Amino acid sequence: MAMTDVTLRPADRVATPQKISISLLLNGAAAQLEVAPWTTLLDALRDQLKLTGTKKGCDHGQCGACTVLVDGRRVNSCLTLAVMKDGAEVTTIEGLAKNGQLHPLQQAFIDHDAFQCGYCTPGQICSAAGLMAEGKARTDDEIRELMSGNICRCGAYPNILAAIKQAMNGDRS
């Protein structure tokens, strides 16, 4: 197969990293950091802020493992440039528990054994928190559809659905 020309174009040359100072309200506390324009929110969280609960799965917005809440809405942090979120409120899996009490979704995932390897779980839980805040899902079909951005390669979907329903209904089963 013919190869295309991969000669570096001017824009490919490494520019002097020009870091930009941003502030976040991160899990309820003010955070200040310096980021390069190309640093994703995911990498900033994991590498700079040492919050490794948020996972890097595909790094292309296809798996949902990196899901966090930005200003209360669930987003893929791998496709979010950190510099663009200056001033935003960011909630990660580390910020969901309050006063030593697990978030109802965290408890529900334990109650229903809604994982196997656990790698997708932080993203599943943050996504489900966003789903509950949106208030658009009522039926099982609607929960499944609106959770389709979170892939679980262990296939724990029935238990994830049961856990989300428990948290939505505010009960323990």
Q: Does 10 bind other proteins (CB under 8 A)?
A: yes
Which of 22, 26, 49, 146 forms a contact with other proteins (CB under 8 A)? 146
**Shortest gap between Cβ of 142 and other proteins (angstroms)?**
5
Helix (H, G, I), strand (E, B) or coil at 20: strand
In the block, residue with structure tokens 């900033």: 44
CB 163 within 8 A of CB 114: yes
> Residue 73 interacts with other proteins (CB under 8 A)?
yes
Does an H or E element contain 33, and which? strand 29-35
Which residues have C-beta within 8 Å of that of residue 146, sequence separation ≥ 6?
A: 131, 134, 136, 137
Residue whose CB is less far from other proteins, 111 or 165: 165
Query: What is each CA distance from 90 to 3, 76, 144, 169, in whole angstroms?
Result: 43, 12, 25, 25
Binding flag, residue 130, other proteins (CB under 8 A): yes
Q: Does position 7 bind other proteins by CB under 8 A?
A: no
Q: Which residues, in sequence order, are CB contacts of 153 under 8 Å at separation 6+?
A: 117, 120
- 3-state secondary structure (DSSP) of residue 40: strand
Q: Is 20 in the site for other proteins (CB under 8 A)?
A: yes
Minimum CB separation from other proteins for residue 111, in Å?
A: 24
Considering only 145, 169, 171, 173, the residue that binds other proteins (CB under 8 A) is: 145
Q: How many helices (H) and strands (E) does the chain have?
A: 5, 5
Neighbours of 145 (CB within 10 A): 12
Nearer to other proteins by C-beta: 111 or 151?
A: 151
Closest distance of CB 19 from other proteins, Å: 11
Q: Does 33 bind other proteins (CB under 8 A)?
A: no
Say whether residue 136 binds other proteins (CB under 8 A): yes
Binding residues for other proteins, rule: CB under 8 A, are: 1-6, 9-12, 14-15, 17-18, 20, 36-38, 40, 59-61, 64, 67, 73-76, 79-81, 83-84, 127, 130-131, 134, 136, 139, 141-142, 144-150
